[in-house]
Structure formats: C-alpha cells, structure tokens
Amino acid sequence: MPELPEVETIVRALRPKLIGRTILAADLLWPRTLVTPSASQLQEAIAGQDILAVARRGKLIHLRLSTFNLFVHLRMSGDLYIKEADALPEKHDRLILTLSPNGQAKAQKLVFDDARKFGRAWLVREPQEVTGKLGPEPLEDGFTPQSLYAGLQARRRQLKPLLLDQSFLAGLGNIYTDEALHRARLHPQAMSNSIKREQAEALWEAIRAVLQEGIRRNGASIDWVYRGGQFQNHFRVYGREGQTCPVCGTTIQRTVVGQRGTHFCPVCQPRE
DNA sequence: CACGTCACCTGCGTGC
DNA sequence: TGCACGCAGGTGACGT
C-alpha cells in the first residue's frame, strides 16, 4: 500500500490523537514484526513511554518517545490505526500498543495490522539506527534540481530502479515513480548518467508534483487495505495498461523493470 | 558498482 | 465450485 503520500496521510491522521499519550503495554502477535529489541525486552522498554512527536522519514512512521524512538515500516500491506481497547483482535493484527486514556475518551490501542507480514517495527535509542542509510527527503530543502542532477550523473543505473532505491531518494515507490517519470517524459530504463540538466530539473519538478498531489488527495487506495485516498483516480500511467495516455492518446504499455511492473507511454517517454 | 534472482507472505482476480 | 496461476503499494540477501 504505502509510499510517501500514504504514510504522510496516516501520520497526519494519527498525530493529534497520539501526542501527549502514554504507551502502557505492548502485545506482539507476530514476533518477526519486531526487528529490535527482542520480544522479551519490548514490554519493559516501552511501558510508560510518553509519545512526544509523530513524524515521517521516507516511508517510515516515527514515534518519538520519552527515551526511545519507535519506527514502523508498513511495507506492502501494513496499516496503523487506533481502535477502542475493547475491540476484538483481528486476523492480521501484528503489534498492539495499549494507550493511556485521553481525557474523556475510552481506553484505546494503536494497532499495526499487516496481512502479508512484510511490515517491520523497531524500538531504538537513536533514530540513526533505522534511518541512517536513507537518501534525502524529496519535499524538503536538501533535495534540489542540482543535487538530483549530480546524483544521477554519479551513478550509471536505469532511472526507475534508481528512483526506487531508498538510499538515493527516500519515499518513492512503484506507483509514484511511474507517475513521476511520465510527467517528466523520461523512459523508465533511461540511464541516469545520460540525463541532461534540464531533464533532471523536469524530473525534480515531477517527483515533487506527484508526491504533493498524492498528499493533497490523501494518498491512493487501490486495494482492500487502505481507505480514503483519492489519488488512484488520477493516475496517468500506473495500472492503466491498454488505456490511453492523457497527454497524447497513445496506448499505455506495461513492462517489467527490475522485477517491478512498470507503466509508461511509448510516445511521451521514448527510449532514445 | 550494477544487475538478476530469490525470499519473505497472504489474498484477490482470472481463466479453465 | 474448485483450483492453478499471476499479480500486488517493499526490501534485503545473495551470486555474477
């Protein structure tokens, strides 16, 4: 489900409900969900931790706690939401955190739900332990047309796998990469070091535009997991194989690049 | 360093 | 209805 805009949407929804509350207990239902610490150390470490801030780094959800930092990566099918404490456990619940009551609100719990079990959580002292290898945030000031151009020149890789590499840029996934490349009129398999300065500028602009539009529409919901987003109704290429390009009317093609389904317009995005 | 392949998992849609 | 198959928003560990 989630790329940067979907994670940002979840973070914005959770932030006002979580800040100022205390985690009372943890219940780990699928042990591999927790990378660190060990399941036996989790309870003692997390009980009594206050939630000071709720943030996002790339696709990671970051809860800043009194003395620890909790990170959650939703991977393919994860979701994170608040339920009433007396709600029945569901089939795909993997980690449940009991929250202190919030004013007159009833006791609640923060649930990490993940059908495919790819999602992961970390409870660490230092954020760097989890975020250390991530590339720049595409919507922050450190990411500029110049830095993107320099990064592209420094590598010799196909554009799509490079943009999916979280150490190159943090937050793009399969959908937003296809959408950004289409907006920038670049072929997914163009080599990064062949990109001209003005093309890099167009790509920078396209990346920011698709992410901002995704956030504005509360993300994309394209399967049974995520709810509420509208961006899926505005895809130009993703999932539109056989339909027409909204720019030129050509039939959108689907191919496979780096094991990922890849959608593009052969006219707007010529291979050259 | 770049790339291909597999592994991790479950569930849904399609076609026979 | 059942069943096999392909596909899925992500990443990490391999081998070449």
Please give, chain by chain, protein residues whose CB is below 7 Å from any atom of strand C. Answer: A 1-3, 6, 58-59, 73, 75-76, 116, 118, 164, 166, 173-175, 219-223, 225-226, 229, 259-261
**DSSP code of A251?**
B
Q: What single string gives the DSSP state of each residue in A58-113?
A: TTEEEEEESS-EEEEE-TTTEEEEEEETTSPP-TTEEEEEEE---TTSPPEEEEEE
Q: Confirm whether any atom of chain B, the nucleic acid strand, is less than 7 Å from CB of A156.
A: yes
Q: How far is the CA of A184 from the C1' of C12 (A)?
A: 30
The catalytically annotated residue of A5, A8, A56, A59 is A59
Annotation marks residue A138 as catalytic: no
pTM of the model: 0.97
Nearest partner of A121 among A26, A25, A262, A44, judged by Cα: A26
Domains of chain A by start residue, with CATH: 4-131 (3.20.190.10), 145-264 (1.10.8.50)
Q: Which of A15, A17, A64, A260 is catalytic?
A: A260
Per-residue pLDDT of chain A (272 residues; tens, 9 = 90+): 699 999 999 999 999 999 999 999 999 999 999 999 999 999 999 999 999 999 999 999 999 999 999 999 999 999 999 999 999 999 999 999 999 987 766 789 999 999 999 999 999 999 999 999 999 999 999 999 999 999 999 999 999 999 999 999 999 999 999 999 999 999 999 999 999 999 999 999 999 999 999 999 999 987 655 567 899 999 999 999 999 999 999 999 999 999 999 999 999 999 98
Q: Provide the pairing of β-strand A120-124 with A34-36.
A: parallel
A88 Cβ contact list (under 8 Å, min separation 6): none
